[in-house]
Structure formats: C-alpha cells, structure tokens
Amino acid sequence: MPSPLLDTLLARIVDSGLLDDPVAENGLIYGRATIDAAGAVVTVNVDPELDPELEDDEDGLDADALLAAIARILSVSETRWRAVIDEVADDIDEAVDDEPVIEQTDLRDDLEATSVVVFADAVLIAFDAPKQFPDSRILVQLDDELDVASIEVRDR
C-alpha cells in the first residue's frame, strides 16, 4: 500500500536533485549519487523509519532532517572523509593485528564505498575491500556530525 508520507519525501528528494532516479519502494527511497570526496558513485537508501501505525501522521516524518543528512554525506569534505577512512583502517588493523596478512595493500587504498543508508540522525556506509576482505563488507555507522560511531566487518 502506498504511503503518502513516503510519496511526500520522494517528491522532496526529486525536487532537491540530490539523488539520481530516486524511487520509493518497501518503505525506503532508493537512488544513486556521488560522494565527491570519495570519488565514488554509491547506492543511497533513505530510511525515514516510518511507523506503519502513524502512516498519515505528518509528525512521523522529518523530511528536512533526512534531506540535510543526504546532503551532509554527499558533500562531506575530503578532510572529514579521509579521517573516517583512517579511523576505519586503524580500527580494523588493530583488530586483526595478530592475523597473518596475505595482501600487503594498505586498507585505506582498498576501501571502496558502495552504498549508503541515510537515517535522520545517522548514516551507514557499506565498503568493499576486495583485496583484504574479499568475502566481507565493512559497515561503518556515522553519527549526525559524520563521526564514526561503529565499525563492523560482516561476511557477505
């Protein structure tokens, strides 16, 4: 069943031009965009976290916060992006410090942003690291200031 709030959010995202070819499906907005600082085109999923019980309640959607969150991650400065990459690489390097390393490529050079999930107060970025973690995805949650909140390596 179509959601009027999701349709409203979709219209706002279309008008903003932030995402290429956005569509609403399964309670999310999907599109593609470029994170300039990363030099990467990523899939962007916008999750308004709508409560099905309150589907017609305008208070259940903070479109302004979601649009700001999309704009913030897509326009992240190169300095901030590099700080995120450094923190991810340092954290993972520390965690696998005793493990034998087959691939000598620096993880910083191997990380490729592939997708972003945007919430009003957080962003989840999925990275591939095809040389060092070919069978895994690296998930990094950023808070609303784009500071790293958590890092997780997951099997595909």
CA distance 103 to 145: 33
Residue 93's pLDDT is: 85
Write out the two tokens for 66.
Answer: 């979601």
Whether the full predicted model's pTM is greater than 0.85, yes or no, is yes
pLDDT tens-place string over residues 99-129: 655 556 789 999 999 999 999 899 999 999 9
- d(CA 114, CA 48) in angstroms, rounded, equals 20
The phi-psi region of residue 109 (left if phi > 0; otherwise alpha if psi is between -120 and 50; otherwise beta) is: alpha
42 half-sphere exposure, CB direction, 13 A CA radius? 26
